[in-house]
């Protein structure tokens, strides 16, 4: 009897999802807003057939990420990253994910290119989130 093939996994990466949000601790950040950029990398169950019905719809994932950026303001970008991770981890076929929230116009009185918080999550087989690492 031939061996049973092991499940195949792969990644989908969405880079540079950009939208205006009102996240931050300072009053000016919450009233004026600023641009946030999010990168998401998903480890997924690889589709076994060449049909959209068997694949992860990354367009839907992208729209959900942007909805978080433009949605209810939070004080910390760590919280924003967690909310995005919680939402996307509930997507069938996602095994783990990494979310990076960039705040390129963070209110620092220094010259810098970017501020980014990066969050890693593992999704357990039951679909629940594993511990962040």
Sign of CA dihedral 40, 18, 70, 111: positive
Check if 103 is active-site. Answer: yes
Q: Which of 23, 102, 103, 121 is catalytic?
A: 103
Q: Which residues are part of the catalytic machinery?
A: 103
């Amino acid at each position: 009897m031939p061996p049973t093939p092991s499940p195949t996994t792969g990644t989908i990466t969405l880079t540079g999802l950009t939208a205006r949000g009102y996240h931050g601790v300072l009053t000016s950040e919450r009233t004026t807003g600023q641009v946030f950029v999010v990168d998401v990398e998903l480890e997924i169950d690889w589709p076994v057939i060449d049909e959209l019905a068997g694949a992860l719809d990354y367009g839907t994932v992208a729209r959900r990420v942007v909805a978080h950026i433009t949605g209810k303001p939070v004080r910390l970008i760590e919280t924003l990253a967690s909310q995005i991770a919680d939402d996307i981890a509930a997507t069938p076929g996602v095994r783990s994910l990494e979310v990076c929230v960039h705040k390129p116009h963070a209110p620092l009185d220094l010259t810098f290119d970017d501020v980014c918080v990066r969050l890693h999550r593992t999704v357990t087989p039951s679909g629940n989130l594993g511990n962040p690492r």
